[in-house]
C-alpha cells in the first residue's frame, strides 16, 4: 500500500523538531480514507516521544490538501453502506483531528497553495498555522449538501468567533485568502510563496528553545480550557453527516461537483 506520509525527526537545535510531510505526489493531496489513517498513525507515533517538542505538518509544494477525496473508491463506497457501517467509517476524520489536537508536542501547519474542507478541519486542530501569501482556504462542505464535521466548527469558533465561522462555513464557494485568514485569526503568520515551511521551521525553533515540560503543560492547560465543551457541542457531527448524506441536496451537490456544473438545491 502506498505511503503518503513521511516523518523526519531530530531536526533543528537540540534535535527537538520533527517534520511530518503529507504528499501524494499528485498536486492536490486529497484525503482518502487511507490517507486519514496514515496521518492519524503519524500523530500517534509521537505519544511516547520525549525527544520531540515541536512537530511541523506540511503538505505538497502546490497544496496542503484538497480535502476529502470524493473520487476515492473506498470513500465512494459510503453511498451504499448501511447506517452502522457509515457511522463507523465517518469516525476516520474526527479520529484524525483529535489525534493531532491531543499531541503533547506543539504542532505547526505549513500551508502552501490551497487548503480545502477536511484540510481546514485538520489545520484548525493544530496549535499554529503558517500560510503562503498566495494560498487560500475554503470550506465547501455545505455546498455539497453536507455539514462541516470532524469537530472543526467549535475549533474554528475558538479561533475566529461565531460570525466569521458562519461566514467561512456557510459561504461555501468563498475563497479565504491568506491575508483574510491572518486578519480573521485563522492563521498566525503569512509567508512569501514557497517559504511557508521555512517560516514554520523558524517558529518551531523558537518553540523548541523553550523548556519542553513547561511548554507541554501550558498547551494542555490552554487546550483543556478552550475545548472543554467541544465534545458536547460536536458529538452529533457524525449523525448529522449521516443524515445529510441521505438528502437529495447532498446527491445533487456531489453530482454537480463531479459534473462541473452549478447545483440546484431544494431543501430536501
In tens, the pLDDT along 137-188 reads 999 998 888 888 899 999 999 999 999 999 999 998 899 999 999 999 999 9
On the question of pLDDT at 192 being above 90, the answer is: yes
For the chain, percent helix, then strand, then coil, each to nearest 5? 50, 15, 35
Report if residue 267 sits inside a domain. no
CATH number at residue 155: 3.90.226.10
Domain-embedded: residue 264: no
198 HSE (CA, 13 A, CB side)? 6
Q: How many domains, the chain?
A: 1
For 173, the domain range is 5-205+212-258
pLDDT digits (tens, 9 = 90+) for 196-216: 999 999 999 999 999 999 999
Which grid cell sits at 200? 514554520
In a domain, 265, yes or no: no
Q: Say if CB 234 and CB 101 are below 8 A apart.
A: no
Residue 263 lies in a domain: no
- Give dist(CA 117, CA 97) in Å, integer: 13
C-alpha cell at 54: 515541536
pLDDT digits (tens, 9 = 90+) for 33-60: 999 999 999 999 999 999 999 999 999 9
Asked, for residue 188, whether it belongs to a domain, the answer is yes
Q: Which pLDDT value is given to residue 1?
A: 53
Residue 109 inside a domain? The answer is: yes
Residue 146 lies in a domain: yes
- Residue 161, domain member (yes or no): yes
Amino acid at each position: 500500500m502506498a505511503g503518503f506520509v513521511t516523518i523526519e525527526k531530530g531536526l533543528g537545535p537540540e534535535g527537538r523538531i520533527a517534520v511530518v510531510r503529507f504528499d501524494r505526489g499528485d498536486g492536490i493531496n486529497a484525503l482518502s480514507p487511507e490517507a486519514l489513517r496514515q496521518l492519524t498513525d503519524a500523530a500517534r507515533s509521537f505519544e511516547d516521544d520525549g525527544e520531540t517538542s515541536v512537530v511541523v505538518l506540511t503538505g505538497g509544494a502546490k497544496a496542503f490538501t484538497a480535502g476529502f477525496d470524493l473520487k476515492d473508491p473506498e470513500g465512494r463506497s459510503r453511498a451504499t453502506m448501511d447506517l452502522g457501517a457509515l457511522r463507523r467509517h465517518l469516525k476516520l476524520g474526527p479520529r484524525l483531528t483529535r489525534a493531532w489536537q491531543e499531541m503533547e508536542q506543539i504542532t505547526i501547519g505549513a500551508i502552501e497553495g490551497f487548503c480545502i474542507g477536511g484540510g481546514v478541519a485538520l489545520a484548525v486542530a493544530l496549535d499554529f498555522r503558517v500560510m503562503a501569501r498566495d494560498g487560500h482556504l475554503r470550506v465547501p462542505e455545505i455546498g455539497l449538501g453536507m455539514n462541516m464535521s470532524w469537530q472543526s466548527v467549535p475549533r474554528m469558533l475558538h479561533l475566529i468567533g461565531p460570525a466569521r465561522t458562519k461566514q467561512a462555513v456557510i459561504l461555501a464557494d468563498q475563497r479565504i485568502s491568506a491575508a483574510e485568514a491572518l486578519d480573521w485569526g485563522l492563521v498566525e503568520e503569512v509567508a512569501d510563496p514557497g517559504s511557508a515551511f521555512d517560516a514554520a521551521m523558524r517558529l518551531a525553533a523558537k518553540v523548541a528553545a523553550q523548556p519542553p515540560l513547561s511548554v507541554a503543560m501550558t498547551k494542555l492547560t490552554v487546550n483543556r480550557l478552550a475545548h472543554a465543551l467541544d465534545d458536547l457541542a460536536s458529538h452529533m457531527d457524525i449523525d448529522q453527516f449521516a443524515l445529510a448524506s441521505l438528502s437529495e441536496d447532498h446527491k445533487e451537490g456531489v453530482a454537480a461537483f463531479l459534473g462541473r456544473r452549478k447545483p440546484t438545491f431544494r431543501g430536501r
